[in-house]
Amino acid sequence: MVQEQYNQWVQRTNPNEQDKLCGGRQVSDNEMYFIKRYAERNILDIGCGTGHRTFPIWIKRKLNFYGIEKFQNLIDNSKYKIIHSDISSTEFMDTVNELSIKQFDISFLFGGVINGIIDQELQQRSWKNFRFLLDKCNYILIDTLTHFTWFPIAETGEEIQLFPLVPTQYFYSRKELENLNNEFGLEFCEERTESIGNLRRTHYLIKKKKN
């Protein structure tokens, strides 16, 4: 039910408003750090929205890229070509396997993409897709808010409505993220935290565990 409410909110919200809520045209210091360090040639931009925020960076840096977005209304209001697919779907890896680029430096999931995946079954499927995606790219970058007092100690996260204009999202605990990584043979290899007003957001770089 909560997942459907979130999906409906995105579908009925003006894409320009979605762009503003996702940072407008601004890219944070954390985001630029990971872009400069890990985006060398080929990248995936998953949950890219309209692409208006990040695509100009990929173009300016002369990167080969694909944008992938779950919500058709955002794709329809973009001036860029974007692939319609969902990281939490069973068909996601079929979509990736059909791309002309076969190996990527990194897949970016900027802007709290994982926080919009609220249903537990979809969360599990997303991490399963992460595992297969890391056969085709070196790293995956995710981010989530980490200012919550329970974040470092709770076994699981919480469904929270942060602001009146934004619906309930899911925010993970540190242990929960680590447990998901362990379940699917993944690990964090780098993380950086930044402030957003009174909030804190942490970016996590994920790779496959070495056997």
Parallel, antiparallel or unpaired: strands 137-145 and 199-208: antiparallel
Examine the pLDDT at 38 and tell me if it is beyond 80.
yes
Q: Taking the model in full, what pTM does it have? A: 0.96
Lowest-pLDDT choice from 22-36, 67-81, 169-183: 22-36
Going by the DSSP 8-state scheme, the letter that residue 209 receives in this structure is P
Count of domains for the chain: 1
Domain that holds residue 149: 2-208
pLDDT tens digits along 82-94 = 999 999 999 999 9
Q: Report whether pLDDT(32) > 80.
A: yes
Q: What rounded mean pLDDT belongs to the chain?
A: 94
- Label residue 204 exposed, middle or buried (CB < 10 Å: 0-12, 13-18, 19+): buried
pLDDT band at 18 (very low <50, low <70, confident <90, very high): confident
**Which tens digit of pLDDT belongs to each residue from 49-92?**
999 999 999 999 999 999 999 999 999 999 999 999 999 999 99
Q: Which residues contact 98 (CB under 8 A, 6 or more apart)?
A: none
CATH number, domain with residue 40: 3.40.50.150
CA–CA distance, 97 with 103 (Å, rounded to integer): 10
pLDDT above 70 for 25: no
CA distance 121 to 103: 28
Interatomic CA distance for residues 133 and 69, integer angstroms: 16
Q: What contacts 26, CB < 8 A, 6 or more positions away?
A: 53
Instruction: Give the model confidence (pLDDT) of 127-166 as tens digits.
Output: 999 999 999 999 999 999 999 999 999 999 999 999 888 9
Total residue length of the chain: 211
Query: How far apart, in whole angstroms, are the C-alpha atoms of residue 179 and residue 90?
Result: 21
pLDDT tier at 24, thresholds 50, 70, 90:
low
At 15, the pLDDT band (50, 70, 90 cuts) reads confident
Query: Binning pLDDT at 50, 70 and 90, where does residue 23 land?
Result: low
d(CA 69, CA 83): 6
Nearest to 194 by CA among 37, 33, 56: 33
Give 81's DSSP letter: -
